[in-house]
């Protein structure tokens, strides 16, 4: 393993050479968003003298961790990105990855080696402000609800200015992400301020059009019209209430509070997890913009997993000590669907499923995820090429083990097939490893040309060709009747 120095706009950075790869970590793309820059648009980086070490990740943005992540950070000097590039060559496609969750995570958690080695591309992974630091609102505060999106846009602008230094083509950038990261991709598709900064888009399990019936996400949580978006006015009212609870009389006082005091407030991370619409970044709800055809006309590759909601039922019910029982199943359906509950139970009887947890997760996968995903595809495909996928490896490795609820192809289980670590790769069968290679090949082919098809690769027709959805499972990459598989005719009026 050796070292290499590259010149970027703010100075020299030293990364590491690993075989045919170069890896640079912890490169600042914006100034630390603290003090007066807390809850402000990202500012430029101060140039440095000498050579900056880029062999280790920078700090994650402030976060408290969760039941599925033990990462905690209070460091607001966190607007870093990481670049993995081939050792030589120029003009290569650039892929910019936006991680998911919206309250926890960091770009360096994703190992881009397989994408870069097989795809001959440059991959950039990004940290951005989250939770109370990324989505906070306050009356009169410019940018309320959009600071995380502004960070991501600043990273894209940095890529446009600096990609060539790593052998990348700034005129061929693919923005891709998972979960809240995919939802952010949708936000950039509809935001005029982001247009021209990327040329293709990839979305894994986006929340763009997802609404949630009562009790479907967390037990005892009411119905949510959206998981992804909130009006700026609502975020500003919530921010004013939080400021009062913290005893801060104005914005300056809020900016003086230690990061840990904000993080430890009992509800700020989840309350401000959504993106705000009604401001300059997102003037109207992104779903409305998609329906009107008001979005960047770039090729899109998008999809979801076969068993999206199983992981959420595992986390928020089974592993939280509130398992779904056969006795509860009708009650859950009644809470979620009201007068439609008997019809839903008839369509998804317990007798068809190995457990009540699987039945409940199947209902929610179809109603919450598949219905929203197919509508997303239809709105996009009316104006631009769309390549739709479903990840369907029901034996995908999982970090969760719940006897009553096999994880199947659960939410984000596809992502490790694009970003496999050595440890993950060791858990794969030969067929799963081949699936990973096919996905990497087709995703990077899409990044290169806007079309995932190529010699030796499975045929992938556009969604507009008979609503074609390509299913990805070991030894079985082929078209699937997505609407029939997820009973979308049943859900069309519910």
Domain with residue 261: its CATH number is 3.40.50.1820
* 384-to-155, 282, 301, 372, 379 alpha-carbon distances in Å: 25, 21, 11, 18, 9
Distance of CA 298 to the CA centre of its chain: 19
Position 265 scores a pLDDT of 84
User: Which residue segment(s) compose the domain that 441 sits in?
Assistant: 2-491
Kind of pairing, strands 469-472 and 200-204? unpaired
Tell me what pLDDT residue 269 has: 56
Contacts of 245 (CB under 8 A, 6+ apart): 265
- Cα–Cα distance between 458 and 452 in angstroms, integer? 9
Residue numbers in the chain where pLDDT is lower than 70: 65-70, 267-270
Calculate what percentage of the chain has a pLDDT beyond 90: 93
Please report how many Cα atoms fall inside a 13 Å half-sphere around the Cα of residue 65, on the Cβ side: 9
Catalytic residue numbers, as ranges: 179
The residues near 136 (Cβ < 8 Å, ≥ 6 apart) are: 39, 144, 145, 147, 235, 239, 268, 272
The rounded radius of gyration (Å) of the Cα atoms in the chain is 22
Instruction: Provide the β-strand partners of residue 276.
Output: 230
What total of structural domains would you count in the chain? 1
Which tokens is 171 given? 């005129």
Q: What percent of the chain has pLDDT over 70?
A: 98
Which tens digits make up the pLDDT trace of 382-417?
999 999 999 999 999 998 889 899 999 999 999 999
Q: Which residues contact 81 (CB under 8 A, 6 or more apart)?
A: 27, 29, 107, 124, 125, 126, 127, 155, 158
> What is the model's pLDDT at position 68?
55
Strand partners, 230: 276
């Amino acid at each position: 393993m050796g070292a290499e120095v590259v010149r970027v706009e703010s100075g020299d950075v030293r990364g590491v050479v690993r075989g045919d790869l170069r890896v640079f970590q912890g490169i600042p793309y914006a100034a630390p968003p603290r003090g007066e820059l807390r809850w402000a648009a990202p500012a430029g980086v101060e140039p440095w003298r000498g050579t900056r070490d880029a062999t280790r990740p920078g700090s994650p943005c402030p976060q408290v961790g969760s039941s599925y992540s033990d990462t905690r950070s209070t460091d607001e000097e966190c607007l870093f990105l990481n670049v993995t590039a081939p050792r030589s060559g120029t003009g290569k496609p650039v892929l910019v990855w936006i991680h998911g969750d919206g309250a926890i995570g960091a770009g360096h958690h994703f190992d881009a080696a397989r994408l870069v080695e097989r795809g001959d591309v440059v991959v950039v992974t990004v940290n951005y402000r989250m939770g109370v630091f990324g989505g906070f609102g306050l009356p009169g505060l410019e940018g309320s609800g959009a600071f995380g999106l502004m960070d991501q846009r600043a990273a894209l602008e940095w890529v446009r200015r600096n990609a060539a230094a790593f052998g990348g083509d700034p005129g061929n950038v693919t923005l891709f992400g998972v979960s809240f990261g995919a939802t952010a991709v949708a936000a950039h598709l509809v935001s005029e301020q982001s247009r021209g900064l990327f040329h293709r888009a990839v979305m894994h399990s986006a929340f763009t059009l997802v609404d949630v019936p009562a009790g479907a996400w967390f037990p005892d949580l009411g119905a949510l019209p959206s998981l992804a978006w909130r009006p700026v006015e609502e975020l500003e009212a919530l921010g004013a209430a939080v400021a009062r609870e913290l005893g801060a009389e104005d914005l300056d006082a809020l900016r003086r509070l230690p990061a840990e005091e904000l993080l430890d407030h009992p509800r700020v991370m989840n309350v401000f997890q959504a993106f705000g619409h009604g401001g300059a970044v997102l003037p109207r709800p992104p779903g409305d913009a998609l329906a009107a055809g008001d979005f960047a006309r770039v090729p899109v590759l998008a999809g979801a997993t076969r068993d999206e909601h199983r992981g959420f039922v595992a986390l928020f019910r089974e592993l939280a000590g509130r398992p779904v029982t056969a006795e509860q199943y009708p009650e859950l359906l009644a809470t979620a669907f009201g007068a439609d509950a008997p019809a839903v139970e008839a369509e998804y009887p317990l007798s068809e499923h190995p457990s009540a947890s699987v039945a409940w997760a199947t209902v929610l996968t179809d109603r919450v995820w598949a219905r929203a995903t197919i509508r997303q595809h239809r709105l996009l495909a009316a104006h631009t090429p769309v390549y739709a996928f479903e990840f369907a490896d029901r034996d995908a490795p999982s970090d969760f083990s719940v006897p009553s609820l096999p994880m199947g192809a659960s939410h984000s289980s596809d992502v490790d097939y694009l970003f496999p670590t050595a440890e993950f790769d060791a858990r794969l069968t030969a067929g799963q490893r081949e699936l990973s290679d096919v996905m990497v090949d087709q995703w990077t082919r899409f990044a290169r040309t806007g079309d995932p098809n190529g010699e030796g690769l499975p045929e992938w027709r556009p969604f507009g060709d008979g609503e074609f959805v390509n299913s990805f499972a070991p030894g079985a990459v082929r078209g699937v009747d997505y609407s029939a598989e997820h009973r979308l005719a049943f859900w069309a009026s519910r």
